[in-house]
Structure 1
């Protein structure tokens, strides 16, 4: 009887140790040293990629741009990577969100070259959303409170992202 009890206790302790290690590994945050390269969302490819100049030109005459573009990530949501921005050749920036919030990008991806596929539009973003974005970007309370009016901006809803090595 003692042997059976000893085996059961040993099994319980072993399983308990394994489970705590598994939980610890899952809760470990991605190090800022980890390269943020790879595919996110739907797996897309680099064929048929347009320039940002082309995207801006299309949106000057049409309501939407469908396709892929290449750029460089300027800023990433510091909370969970739920959006990023890309500077455009006309001096403006474009906010990239991810279809149905189905995926995010690494928070340390700023400065990396990127290919995105999806739909771009020009839209007006309301004050509440602009404040939310500013908070996500880690802006100060004063900077957030200074936002008083809606903003016309370029928006891109991506179905897939390739973050490339910036070597």
Structure 2
């Protein structure tokens, strides 16, 4: 009887040790097959690429006016339908970041919703004005009713991209 109890106690310990493994926060750009991506803007050359959950944690620690240079991978939730001049990218915890492109110097394709991207640049927190929120909703093809429902400025996780890789 003692042997059976000891066996199950040991088995429970081993199972619990395996379930505590922490998920990786990042990967190396060297692990990416760059030929499977289209490049927009500058070269994405950062050695460390964070997953979207890890970048969400970094945004939570930023105050308005703070910036960090970072590279991360995620999926595109929305993109400007007029020119491809901005995109909204998923973060962990059902949040997203508004990505714009450095010096308005490049655009991304207008049909990349749900595509995987790697983006390199500066993350920051800002407040988006009522006027800009309505303009962005218009660019996204929202209805007049949806645009009129926007009534207050919003704290926004923002990103100024130097370069973007879009998975083919």
- TM range, normalised to the smaller chain? 0.7 to 0.9
Between stretches 44-53 and 114-123, larger displacement belongs to 44-53
Query: Aligned to 2:70, which of 67, 71, 91?
Result: 67
Q: Is 1:79 aligned to residue 100 of structure 2? A: no
Asked if the contact 1:59/1:65 (under 8 Å) is kept, the reply is no
Which residues of structure 1 form unaligned runs of 5+? 1-36
- The structure with the larger Rg is 1
Equivalent residue number for residue 91 of structure 2: 88
Give the TM-score normalised by the residue count of structure 2: 0.72
Q: 1:93 deviation in Å?
A: 1.4
Q: For the residues of structure 2 that align with 1:131 and 1:73, how far apart are their CA atoms?
A: 20
Q: For the residues of structure 1 that align with 2:157 and 2:70, how far apart are their CA atoms?
A: 15
Residues 108-132 of structure 1: CA deviation (Å, up to 9, x unaligned):
1111100000011121100000000
Between stretches 48-57 and 115-124, larger displacement belongs to 48-57
Residues 15-35 of structure 1: CA deviation (Å, up to 9, x unaligned):
xxxxxxxxxxxxxxxxxxxxx
Asked if the contact 2:123/2:160 (under 8 Å) is kept, the reply is yes
**Aligned Cα RMSD in Å?**
1.4
Aligned residue pair count: 129
Equivalent residue number for residue 29 of structure 2: none
Q: Is 1:134 aligned to residue 137 of structure 2? A: yes
Q: 1:65 deviation in Å?
A: 2.6
**Secondary structure, in 3 states, of the residue corresponding to 2:126?**
strand
Following superposition, which runs of at least 4 residues in structure 1 exceed 3 angstroms of deviation? none
